[in-house]
Amino acid sequence: MSTQPKATPESDYPVSEEFGKYPLYKVVSVFEDPRKVDAAIDELSEHDFSTSEIEAYCGIEGSEKIDFDGAQHGIWTKFLRAVQHAGPERTYLERYEKHLNEGHCLIMVSVANAERKHTAGRILNKHTPERVTYFGLLSADEIKP
């Protein structure tokens, strides 16, 4: 049995190069069970979230794509990561990196308004016991179930 969800970035779900800067206007959560990633993505799709709005990262490969130290995306991203590791984003970056390196998955959903934010948050909360966070302009807020 595969430990990777069927909807990895290499299949239908794109990986945004923008994460190297900041997951702006995205709802994000960790998933320890890859099968729950698939269920969450299916439900997001049922609620009209498109494949361009959903990103899935899993395991060490996902960690490398996110590039937590910025080394793979050039000097500017490396500088931004250094600033993020010194600021409040440090906690999120460390947590996401730890989970991915342990073989878990991360889903990020782009949202355009408060209604979409709450819909994505409700769906992710339904499928994972982990914290669901919305990253807005210079803020990160937990979306509680």
Q: For residue 145, tell me if it sits in a domain.
A: no
User: Which pair of tokens denotes residue 111?
Assistant: 């949202």
d(CA 124, CA 37): 9
pLDDT for position 133: 95
Quickly tell me which residue has 């993020």 as its tokens. Answer: 84
User: Which pair of tokens denotes residue 98?
Assistant: 């730890």
Q: For residue 71, tell me if it sits in a domain.
A: yes
Q: Encode 122-139: b = buried (16+ Cβ within 10 Å), e = exposed.
A: ebbbebbebebbbbeeee
pLDDT digits (tens, 9 = 90+) for 120-132: 999 999 999 999 9
Q: 3-state class of 133 per DSSP?
A: strand
Q: For residue 58, tell me if it sits in a domain.
A: yes
**10 Å Cβ neighbour count for 32?**
14
Which of these, 12, 2, 10, 16, lies nearest to 108 by C-alpha position? 16
pLDDT digits (tens, 9 = 90+) for 80-139: 655 555 555 667 878 888 999 999 999 999 999 999 999 999 999 999 999 999 988 778
pTM above 0.85, yes or no: no
Which of these, 101, 117, 106, 100, lies nearest to 36 by C-alpha position? 106
Mean pLDDT of 13-23: 52
Quickly tell me which residue has 């991203």 as its tokens. Answer: 77
Number of domains in the chain: 1
For 49, the domain range is: 17-139
Where are any strands of DSSP class E within the chain? 26-31, 54-58, 105-110, 132-136, 139-142
pLDDT for position 34: 85
pLDDT for position 13: 43
Q: For residue 6, tell me if it sits in a domain.
A: no
User: How far, CA to CA in Å, does 37 sit from each of 44, 54, 58?
Assistant: 10, 11, 10
d(CA 28, CA 33): 15
pLDDT digits (tens, 9 = 90+) for 44-79: 999 999 999 999 999 988 877 876 665 565 665 555
